[in-house]
Amino acid sequence: MGYIQFEDVHKSFGNNEVLKGITMGVEKGHMATLLGPSGCGKSTLLRCLAGLEEVTTGKVYVDGKDITDVTPRNRNIGMVFQQYSLFPNMSVYQNVAFGLNMQKSPKDEVERKVKEMLKVVGLEEKIDQYPAQLSGGQQQRVALARAIVTGPKVLLLDEPLSAIDAKLRHSLQIEIRRIQKEFNMTTIFVTHDQDEAMVMSDEIHLFHDGRIEQSGTPTEMYTAPRTRFAAGFIGSYNIFTAAEFKKLCGEDTDAPDVAIRPEVVRLNYETSAPAPRYYAKGTIVNSLSHGNLVRYTVRCHDIDINSDVMFEKHSLLEVGEEVEVSIRKTNVIMLY
């Protein structure tokens, strides 16, 4: 059993079943990400763990204890929302101290813990300022400090970075991960952004229509998707039906679909390695620069396949140019 454990959790709103038998665990000290599109049930599961929603059937455990019917305030869980929910009429100090004061902690202990936590999140100089005087990133760090300062068993983050611009979001991803590791805090992070999940996570649980489609480490999820949905949501795979794959590579497959990562698709590739490969002739129909990468779309037998190639100015290929596509056979992933 994981430090956090869901056992056959169902949740319905009227006739709408949002969670359809979720069974999963999260290891102690891990950052686990619930990943998936809007409406797949990931935030609902988070709210069930926090006690903000009652499960229809099933059990929820933390540290081996059944908390299914425990009130939210007695679950010892910290939570940060997309909207930071800071008290606008309270200073940074007062916002972070709020939970400790609710616990009736001694005044000197409150002061010590708040100052320590503001140092951890790099906001000690903002201690007397109010939320309206802070940037979005600073407000998010205040919300994080407030959630952690009480020493919760579990930290829940519900899309906390989705309203922040891309550059700041990346720095906050690194900051949140650093703090989570420093405190060894078991954390569940909800996002629809697969890149964010890859950066933040020890483990990823991919949701689809109220169920878990696949779970694994970021590397496992990226390199070994099991279904068409997983391959389509994580990464930018080339995905083909069995019929399309046969047309492209001339070989039958037992799987209904196959996936091939763009970075393993070689163009005009010369090698002396004996590894078996598929080959096909094609024409470049599009090229798109992605910083240090160029993505070429090659049309082979009326089938389009993408290839990601490191940018080298002297070897750029042109639209309309004929090329040979090659794919190592072991890089073809069967989807079921």
CA 118 to chain centre: 26
Could you tell me which CATH class the domain 235-333 is placed in? mainly beta
Sequence spans of domains, the chain: 2-229, 235-333
Q: What is the pLDDT of residue 194?
A: 95
Q: Taking residues 50-66, what's their average pLDDT?
A: 98
User: Which pLDDT tens digit goes with each residue over 279-315?
Assistant: 999 999 999 998 899 999 999 999 999 999 998 876 8
Tens-digit pLDDT profile for residues 3-57: 999 999 999 999 999 999 999 999 999 999 999 999 999 999 999 999 999 999 9
Query: Among residues 66, 24, 16, which one has the least CA distance to residue 45?
Result: 24
pLDDT at 313: 72
CB 302 within 8 A of CB 246: no
Of the candidate ranges 42-56, 72-86, 102-116, the one whose mean pLDDT is the lowest: 72-86
Cβ distance 49 to 7 under 8 Å?
no
pLDDT of residue 13: 98
Residue that has been written with the tokens 């390199």 in this structure? 223
Taking only the tens place, the pLDDT of each residue in 136-185 is 889 999 999 999 999 999 999 999 988 788 888 888 899 999 999 999 99
pLDDT tens for 176-222 read: 999 999 999 999 999 999 999 999 999 999 999 999 999 999 999 99
pLDDT of residue 149: 96
Measured distance CA(166)–CA(155) in Å, rounded: 23
> How is residue 200 annotated by DSSP?
H
Q: How far is Cα 157 from Cα 3, in angstroms, rounded to an integer? A: 17
67 has a pLDDT exceeding 80: yes
Q: Is the pLDDT of residue 83 over 90?
A: no
pLDDT > 90? residue 84: no
Give strand pairing partners of 189. 33, 157
- Give the closest residue to 172 by CA, choosing from 217, 122, 218, 127: 122
- Residue 315: predicted pLDDT: 82
Q: Which fold has domain 2-229?
A: Rossmann fold (3.40.50)
Q: What is the pLDDT of residue 314?
A: 67
How far is the CA of 47 from the CAs of 19, 32, 120, 215, in angstroms? 12, 15, 27, 20
